[in-house]
Each structure stands twice: as C-alpha cells, then as structure tokens.
Amino acid sequence: MRFPKSTIGQRLTWSYGTVVALLIVVAFFGIYKLGSLSRITDATLREKYPATIVVNQLSNDLNIIAREMRNTLIFNDQAHLQDQLNEINKAKINMAAELEQVQLKMTDPDSKELLNEIKIVHSAYLVNQEDFIHLVAEHKMGEARNLLLVDLNGYQDIYFELLEKLRADQINLMTLASKEVEDTYFSARKLMFILSALAIVLSIGITVIITRSLLKQLGGEPDYAVSIAKKIALGDLSSFIALDSNDHSSLLYSMSAMRESLIERTNALQDTNRELALTIETLNQAQADLIFNEKLAALGSLVAGIAHELNTPIGNGIMAASTLIEFSKAFEAKSVNGVSRASLKMYLAQMQEGADILQRNLDRAGSLIASFKQVAVDRTTSGARRFALAEVISEIILTLQPAIKKRPHLIKQDIPPEIMMDSYPGPLGQVLTNLINNALIHGFDQRESGNDPGIISISARTLSDSHIEIKVHDNGCGISPDNLSRIYDPFFTTKFGKGGSGLGLHISHNIVCGVLGGKIHVDSELKVGTTFILTLPVKATNLQH
C-alpha cells in the first residue's frame, strides 16, 4: 500500500485514527449492550427480588406471632406475659406494612391472585388473634388454648402454605429474569468478541503497512547518530563527529552544534563553580571569625564575672589579714611589760576569729575559681561530659551577674537537681547566655526603672528517658509577628549598633540543631513576653569526650 504525497504525521494520524475509530465502535456497542443488560437486571432487582424479601419477612413475623402466642400460655408472670403481648402487637403491625409493600410490588396475575387469598386469610387470622389476646388479658388461659388449637393453628397453616406458594412464584419469576439476563450477557459477549477480533486484525494490518512505509522512507536505523548521542549523554564531549563539508542541516550537524554549545556551557559552569567555592570558603572563614569573636565576648563577660565575684571574698580576706596583723603588733607591744592571762586569751580568740573569717573567704574564692574554671574550659574546648543541668545553669547565671546587677532585672532558676545530661555544656552555656542577653538587650530595653523589673525564668523538665525540655521565658516587650520568621537569620537585628550583632540567635539555632542535636522553638506575644523552648536529647549524638 502506497501513501503518495503524505507526511509521517498524516500517515500516523490516519492509521491511529482508524484504530481509535474501531475501538470507539466496539466501545459504543458494548455500552449499548451493557445498558440493555443493566435495565433487565435493574427490573429484576426492583420488582422481583424485593418482593421475595418482603414475603420472607412476612413469614418471619408470622412465626414470631405463632411462637409468642404459645409462650403466653406457658408464662404465668405478668411481666413476661406483657412482653409476649407486645411482641405479638409489634409483629402484627409489621405484617400489615409488609402486606402493603407486597401489594405494590406484585405485577403478574398469579401473584396478585395469591395475594388476595392471603389477605382473606390474614383478616380471619387477625380477628381470631384479637380474641386470643383478649382472653389472655382476662387470664382465661383455657379458652385461649382452645382458640389457639382449634382456629388459629388452622389459619396459621393456611397462611404459611399461601406464603410458601407466593415465595415459590417469586423465585420462579426471578429464575426467568436471571435466564433473560444470562442470555443477554452471552449475546453481548459473543458480538463484542467478534468486533474486538476484527478491530485487532485491522489494527495489526494497518500497523504493518505504516511501519513498512516509514522504514522505506527513512532507509534504516541511524546507528552512527545513535552512538554519538550515547557518548554525549555519558558526558564525552571530545568525540569527533564526521560531517560532509556541505552538511548544514542534518541530524549529525545539529548534534555537533549541540556538542559545541555544551562544551562552552560546561567551561562556563566550571568557572562559576570555582568562584562559588572560593566565595563559600570566604564566607565560612568569616563565619568562623564571627563565632570566635562571640566566644571572645563571652570570655570577656566571664572574666568580668570572675573579677566581680572574687572581689568580695578576697577583699574580706585582705581586711581580716590586715586586722590580724594590727592585733599581733598591739599584742607584741604589750608583751614587753608582760602579758596577763586575760590579754592572752583575748588575743588567741581574736586570732581564731580572724583565721576563721580568712579561711571562709578563701574557701569561697577557691570555689568560685573552680566554678569559673569549669565554665571557661567548657566554653573554650566545647567538649562533651556528663553534668548536672542545675549546676551548669547556676554557673552560667553566676558569670552574668555583673551585667544583671547593672540593671533592675532578675533571673529565676527552676531546674530539678536530678536532671543529668551527657552532652556539651560549653555550647549549651553559649546558647543560654545568648538567650539571656537577647532578653536584656531587646526584651527589657524600655525597663530601666526599678519599679518595673524584668524577670527571666529558666526552667527544665524531663520529657522522656531520652529527652528534656528547657524554657527561657522573659516578661519583656515580645517579638513582632513580622520579625518572628527572621530571628534566626544571620545579621538580622533590631538593635544594630546598640549591642545587637544579629548573630546571637543564628549561632544559638545552629548549636541547638547541630552540636546538641535538638530543636528550638519560640513563642512570643507583644507586651506579654517571649519564651524559647529547647528540646534536647539527654545524651547528645556524636559525642566527643
């Protein structure tokens, strides 16, 4: 078969259009037959099957009435007797409704004739049933038993027989309808098989004709172009592509131009990547310098804290030592002319008291130095160790006392002493220091009056065996909703040049999510306060003791 003056698109459109048309014909025929089948099935389900169900319900209710009437003659208890009568009345009401449903669903003459007979028997049965109920209600059980055995049982047998005939008639109608559905189904299936086979044969024939036509026009597979395309796809851009000198429009020519363009773009990308790597290295170094400066600032606060806290015990020690020296000189001057026992006892008591004062203050200074030493080691080494959370936070608050005492603000601590962690106290201390300083700089910047002091509360609780929660809450001015999404961005601050570098929360976020392996969340409301919530593992991952 030849296709003169037709393009590939036209040939494909013609072939696939024919196949689609055949499939549409088969589909419409199938839809028509299925619709016919659906109508027959629907009629069966709506007219025959529901009537059979209602007849079964009638039989069940008649059984209930027969059983309950027998039971009324057995039970003497008034409560049980009333229950049986209620069941009889309920079944009687159901039967009346079911007879109306059956009458609406019966369409064939035989069923209607049977239904008329059932209605006659039902009326007679109902009259005797009412007499039976009255006799039972008056406790005339003997007469009720005679009525049941003589009249009611006979009507019940006739009633059951007529219902069975009606059920058999409905089953026969359903069987005929089922046969009609089956015949329609087999007829539709046969015709659809024939049409499908015809469509398949025609589709195969059209496909063979079109394939031969296309292969004849293309002249075979372009193996060389395929091999070049595979090399380019694998990243080999150096392969030589043989082209005729006059070839400016073939597939190979386009592939050669594409290769040259890819080479240029690859070289440009490599140059860009080198510039990006250099920029990233510069940024990383700048970040490291900024973090180092933050640590230096923290160490500066630590030194100030050491000086402030050591000033009192050392000053007291110097005062005690100088007092002891004066007492010793005075005692030495008195001893030239002799010393009384009372003077000696007074001197010894003064020496003992001064020595006690000196020892207490030196012990206090030693304890402070040990505490500051641990904080300094944690901050400078960033190593992991096991520690009590309450002790570490107490040491952190101690280092911040010089900054706190300059302002009318308070730091409250509520840390259970039993919380132990195996983590990095130095980075944790840096995070808490940043959060406290953030509250002092941003939260309480409008509160310099002692009448309205700011309060920073640090609390902790155990969430599970593996995680704890630390909350840092302040009753400051809060954070604007517009700024909440940006507080962790580097260099973002609302106090630039006034003590805020814009790095505190950024570094804190990186430490919590990176080094400590936890999460940080903030809740804030304007004019109410801000709460930072740290969820941390009790044992940090990738520990380096």
CA angle 16, 20, 22 (to 5 degrees): 120
Is the same domain home to 21 and 150?
Answer: yes
64-73, 101-110, 349-358: lowest mean pLDDT where?
A: 101-110
Is the same domain home to 338 and 350?
Answer: yes
For the cut 50, the answer to whether the pLDDT of residue 219 exceeds it is no
Domain of residue 201, CATH code: 1.20.120.1730
176-180, 247-251, 336-340, 440-444: lowest mean pLDDT where?
A: 247-251
- Is residue 241, in this structure, part of any structural domain at all? no
Final residue in a domain of this structure, among 347, 381, 415 = 381
User: What was the pLDDT predicted at 419?
Assistant: 93
- Is residue 246, in this structure, part of any structural domain at all? no
Is the same domain home to 486 and 405?
Answer: yes
Q: Give residue-wise pLDDT tens across range 368-382.
A: 675 555 555 555 556
Is the same domain home to 18 and 139?
Answer: yes
Final residue in a domain of this structure, among 325, 349, 381 = 381
- Using alpha carbons, select from 23, 436, 45, 366 the residue that is nearest to residue 195: 23
User: What was the pLDDT predicted at 450?
Assistant: 57
For the cut 60, the answer to whether the pLDDT of residue 338 exceeds it is yes
Indicate the average pLDDT of the chain. 76
Give the chain's domain count.
3
Cα–Cα distances (Å) from 21 to 18, 24, 43, 44, 206, in that order, read 5, 5, 33, 35, 13
Is the same domain home to 304 and 426?
Answer: no
Confidence band (pLDDT; 50, 70, 90) for 357? confident
Q: Give residue-wise pLDDT tens across range 40-55.
A: 665 554 555 566 777 7
Tell me the mean pLDDT in the region 449-459. 80
Question: What is the C-alpha separation between 439 and 532, in angstroms, rounded?
Answer: 10
> What's the pTM value of the predicted model, to 2 decimals?
0.42
Final residue in a domain of this structure, among 181, 197, 216 = 216
Domain of residue 417, CATH code: 3.30.565.10
Is the same domain home to 351 and 470?
Answer: no
**What's the domain range around 401?**
382-545
- Is residue 250, in this structure, part of any structural domain at all? no
User: What was the pLDDT predicted at 220?
Assistant: 40
- Is residue 330, in this structure, part of any structural domain at all? yes
For the cut 70, the answer to whether the pLDDT of residue 221 exceeds it is no
For the cut 80, the answer to whether the pLDDT of residue 494 exceeds it is no
Is the same domain home to 396 and 418?
Answer: yes
DSSP result, 22-78: HHHHHHHHHHHHHHHHHHHHHHIIIIIHHHHHHHHHHHHHHHHHHHHHHHHTT---H
- Is residue 13, in this structure, part of any structural domain at all? yes
Is the same domain home to 360 and 402?
Answer: no
For the cut 90, the answer to whether the pLDDT of residue 177 exceeds it is no
- Is residue 259, in this structure, part of any structural domain at all? no
Is the same domain home to 306 and 420?
Answer: no
User: What was the pLDDT predicted at 522?
Assistant: 94
Is the same domain home to 68 and 185?
Answer: yes
Is the same domain home to 162 and 49?
Answer: yes
Burial class (CB in 10 A: 0-12, 13-18, 19+), 353: middle
- Is residue 290, in this structure, part of any structural domain at all? yes
* Max avg pLDDT among 75-89, 301-315, 402-416: 402-416
Rounding to the nearest 10 degrees, give the CA dihedral for residues 351, 357, 359, 363: 180
Is the same domain home to 370 and 394?
Answer: no
